[in-house]
Amino acid sequence: MNKTADVTVVGGGVIGCSIAYYLAKKGADVIVVEKNKGPSFGASGTNQGACPLQLFEPPVLELARQSLKLYKNLSEEIGYDIEYDNVGALVCSVDEKQYSDMKKHVEKKKKQGINVRLIEREELLKLEPTLGENVVVGVEEWESCGVNPFKVNYGFACAARRLGARFLFSTEVGKIEKDKDKVTSVATDKGKIITNFLVNAAGAWSPQIGKMLGLVIPVKPRRGQIIVTEPTPLNKRWRCISDADYLLTTAFDLKATEVSKDKRIKLGVAGVYLQESTGNWTIGSSRDFADYNTNVTMQTIRYIAKRAIKFIPKLKDVSCIRTFAGLRPFCYVDGLPILSKVDNPQNFVIATGHAGEGITLAPITGKLISELIVENKTSLPIDAFSFSRFKNAYLQNLG
């Protein structure tokens, strides 16, 4: 028998489940379609759960800021502990040449209204004895947090379900049917869903969904590799420490990483070192393109390990218990998310391209997409994330 829904969301990751939750909260009848056996089988289940605010730049910065605000009370709101952890964020450099850049970083962040503080080497070492002799300077800020990404994903899913949302797992979209300029139904291997809206939150797989409607969604899977260690005693002050090079490898500057002579930068290795409340460290990460391959590579893992020891020398005698890799939906035109309706079909909504920032941006993405669908306007401007921004890029490609 056919199912009917106000909104069908493709993708049961943290973005899809957040959208389902905020839509259900507004009274919409939602169905989530996920091809895997449960949530968190893509990027949502293969990340560190770090949300370091000072690493964001406009226009995404405002989304991150609002998302962090939503995270603060999320456990209470959805009735499930997402392990919100007020770890703050320290961006740290081990390169003398970066000193002036770090000073500029502080000035810029202050102008953006982020409460950052520059900390010189001596004070860094005093406040955090696990930091190594190599550190040059650091910038701290306490608006950032860590969360348990699995729990965020399942928490949103369960809260949505309580509000009436339905979840179809192990269900794959086969065909999307259209009538003139509107999607009418979604055919899956478990039956047809007649729907008023269709949301593409399929992350690294979102281009395949777009293709069913003849749309080119300029997103490709970018692989990130991460090391997990056994627990160690908790750090005194900072449990979320980022390599200043992070700004270099994550910003949309693929050219800079490509032309770099440093093999590490070429592999996109720049760390966020996050110590969870359990004492375990997740040591990230890297950025490379390997299609849909989720294997880790020894070479990249080696560079990640080597780099981590530079920042936190005591990690060298700590055991790695696991490595893993995940696929981030990366927009190869400008590196920005796509949060947008499209002209045709007019009831098709795209929410993807979050790259390595999906966990940070999940709550605000759900909220904004629900507003876009139910109220046809959003509480924050999302023009910068519009699908129409690609028109020119396409023409250039064709020309």
Partner 1 sequence: MQERKVNNIVCRCEEVTEQEIRDAIRKFNLTTVDEVKRLTRAGMGLCQGRTCGSLMEKILSEEINKKVSELLPLKKRPPVRPIKIKLLAKKERESE
Q: Does 78 bind partner 1 (CB under 8 A)?
A: no
Q: Tell me how far, at minimum, the Cβ of 131 lies from partner 1, in Å.
A: 16
Among 133, 179, 258, 317, binds partner 1 (CB under 8 A): 317
Helix or strand or coil: residue 154?
helix
Q: Tell me how far, at minimum, the Cβ of 325 lies from partner 1, in Å.
A: 9
Query: Backbone dihedral region of 113: left (phi > 0), alpha (psi from -120 to 50 degrees) or beta?
Result: left
The site for partner 1, by CB under 8 A, has a size of 32
Angle at 101 between CA 90 and CA 134, to 5 degrees: 55
Give residues 86-145 in contact with partner 1 (rule: CB under 8 A): none
Helix or strand or coil: residue 236?
coil
Among 216, 256, 290, 321, binds partner 1 (CB under 8 A): 321
Residues 141 and 56 sit within 8 Å (Cβ to Cβ): no
Q: Does 301 bind partner 1 (CB under 8 A)?
A: yes
Q: How far apart are CA 41 and CA 196, in angstroms?
A: 27
Q: How far apart are CA 246 and CA 287, in angstroms?
A: 10
Q: Tell me how far, at minimum, the Cβ of 279 lies from partner 1, in Å.
A: 11
Among 70, 213, 320, 393, binds partner 1 (CB under 8 A): 320
Q: Does 40 bind partner 1 (CB under 8 A)?
A: yes
DSSP state of 129: T
Q: How far apart are CA 2 and CA 372, in angstroms?
A: 26
Among 108, 316, 344, 388, binds partner 1 (CB under 8 A): 316
Among 62-70, 93-101, 223-231, 389-397, which window interacts with partner 1 (CB under 8 A)?
Answer: 223-231
Sign of CA dihedral 330, 252, 326, 366: negative
Nearer to partner 1, 195 or 285 (CB): 285
Q: Distances in Å between the alpha carbon of 150 and those of 65, 157, 314, 385?
A: 21, 11, 28, 26
Among 37, 97, 111, 261, binds partner 1 (CB under 8 A): 37
Residues 134 and 310 sit within 8 Å (Cβ to Cβ): yes
Among 28, 215, 241, 315, binds partner 1 (CB under 8 A): 315
Q: Does 308 bind partner 1 (CB under 8 A)?
A: yes
Q: Supply the DSSP string of 160-224, one letter for each residue.
A: HHHTT-EEE-S--EEEEEEETTEEEEEEETTEEEEEEEEEE--GGGHHHHHHTTT----EEEEEE
Q: Does 319 bind partner 1 (CB under 8 A)?
A: yes
Q: Does 266 bind partner 1 (CB under 8 A)?
A: no
Q: How far apart are CA 242 and CA 267, in angstroms?
A: 17
What does the per-residue mask of binding to partner 1 show for 268-297, with x meaning CB under 8 A?
----------x----x------------x-
Each as own residue / partner, the long-range contacts of residues 258-262 (CB below 8 Å, 24 or more positions apart, any chain) are none
Q: Does 298 bind partner 1 (CB under 8 A)?
A: yes
Nearer to partner 1, 108 or 322 (CB): 322
Nearer to partner 1, 2 or 319 (CB): 319
Two structure tokens written together for 353: 């391209």
Give residues 56-75 in contact with partner 1 (rule: CB under 8 A): none
Q: How far apart are CA 295 and CA 293, in angstroms?
A: 6
Nearer to partner 1, 289 or 324 (CB): 324
Q: Tell me how far, at minimum, the Cβ of 361 lies from partner 1, in Å.
A: 21
Q: Does 240 bind partner 1 (CB under 8 A)?
A: no
With the CA atoms of 160, 164, 168 and 173 taken in that order, what torsion angle do they form, in degrees rounded to the nearest 10?
A: -90
What does the per-residue mask of binding to partner 1 show for 149-188, with x meaning CB under 8 A?
-xx--x---x----------x-------------------
Q: Which positions touch partner 1 (CB under 8 A)?
A: 37-38, 40, 45, 150-151, 154, 158, 169, 227, 229-230, 278, 283, 296, 298, 301-302, 305-306, 308-309, 315-324
